[in-house]
Amino acid sequence: MTATSSIRALGLWKYFGHFAALRGLDLDLAEGRFLTIFGPNGAGKTTLIKVLSTQIGASEGSVLVGGVDLAKDAGAVRRRIGVISHNTYLYPQLTAYENLAFYGKMYGVGDLRDRALTLLEEVGLVGRMEDRVATYSRGMQQRLSIARALLHEPDIMFLDEPYTGLDQHASRMLRDVLATLHTGCRTIILTTHSIEQGLEMCDEVAIQVKGRMVYRQPIGAVDRTTFEQTYFDYVGKEFRWDS
């Protein structure tokens, strides 16, 4: 473990029945680093994010997030992490402000009104904060979801396919938010299918296939053409194995 490890997973296995979604996966990510994980469908990317973010427990292996053992104090980890997924975790019958107020109370956020208004301003929804989320477009809901995830000022962010279903405006906004988060020295793990969006601002890049990390490099050492070839080699092999 490096002295500044923010996330460290060792020998992670996750079974769903007899199916192993994670197969002895190891991961070590230093504080303030931005790691993008690529991989085909069924590679276990979402499972990895769910395990690291305490949403599900690992079947075997250990995870330290911010130096805290998930098995011992998941609550302490939850206070430090923010999760943005393709699901927004927003209540459609509540307004944007009510959603943020609800999650803010659950996280014990101080000066909640000011914090919520600041975030709503940042994601460009302050003008519609009294409207029910059910009336929002997919892009607007995802922008609000970003505000929800940042409400308690987490220093570790997990983003699981956050670009799914977003229009260009919302994608650009998400990229801006990610850039701001990254300059703020947060540790970030992003999973995505999009090479374009994934390579944009990360420090390290990895490929996950069949529940294992099969490739990991600092972004400086990655040549895009070679990486694309490597990516499709792994994904291609994966398809050939299955067939």
Partner 1 sequence: MGLLSRAWTIAQKDIVSELRTRETVISMLLFGFLVILIFNFGIEPGLREENLVMPGVLWAAFTFAGILGLNRSFTAEKENDCLQGLLLCPVDRSVIYLGKFIGNFVFTFIMGMFVFMFFSILYNVDIVSVLLPMTLIIILATVGFSSVGTLFSSVSVGLKARDVLLSILLFPVIVPVVLAAAKASSRVLDGKGLAAAGMWLGLLLVYDVIFLAISVMVFDYTVEE
> Which residues form the interface with partner 1 (CB under 8 A)?
50, 53-57, 75-76, 78-79, 81, 83, 85, 87-94, 98, 102-103, 105-108, 132, 141, 148
Neighbouring-strand partners of residue 229: none
Q: Which is nearer to partner 1, 49 or 235 (CB)?
A: 49
Farthest CA pair distance, the chain: 56
- Please report where in the chains the tokens 């999650």 appear, as a residue: 103
Q: Which is nearer to partner 1, 134 or 179 (CB)?
A: 134
Q: Which is nearer to partner 1, 77 or 202 (CB)?
A: 77
Q: How far is the CB of 227 from partner 1 (least distance, A)?
A: 32
Taking phi first (over 0 means left), then psi (-120 to 50 degrees means alpha), and beta for anything else, what does residue 146 get? alpha
Q: Which is nearer to partner 1, 90 or 206 (CB)?
A: 90
Neighbouring-strand partners of residue 83: 158
Apex CA 137: angle with CA 135 and CA 143, to 5°? 110
Close Cβ partners of 58 (under 8 Å, ≥ 6 residues apart): 12, 13, 14, 22, 51, 70
Q: What span, in angstroms and rounded, lies between the C-alpha atoms of 72 and 203? A: 30
Q: How far is the CB of 132 from partner 1 (least distance, A)?
A: 7
Q: What is the DSSP string of 164-218?
A: TT--HHHHHHHHHHHHHHHHTT-EEEEE-S-HHHHHSS-SEEEEEETTEEEEEEE
Q: How far is the CB of 79 from partner 1 (least distance, A)?
A: 4
Q: How far is the CB of 78 from partner 1 (least distance, A)?
A: 4
Q: Which is nearer to partner 1, 60 or 228 (CB)?
A: 60
Q: How far is the CB of 196 from partner 1 (least distance, A)?
A: 26
Q: How far is the CB of 153 from partner 1 (least distance, A)?
A: 13
Q: Which is nearer to partner 1, 136 or 234 (CB)?
A: 136
**Coil, strand or helix at 19:** strand
Q: How far is the CB of 81 from partner 1 (least distance, A)?
A: 8
Apex CA 48: angle with CA 152 and CA 77, to 5°? 30
H or E element, residue 155: none
Q: Which is nearer to partner 1, 46 or 230 (CB)?
A: 46
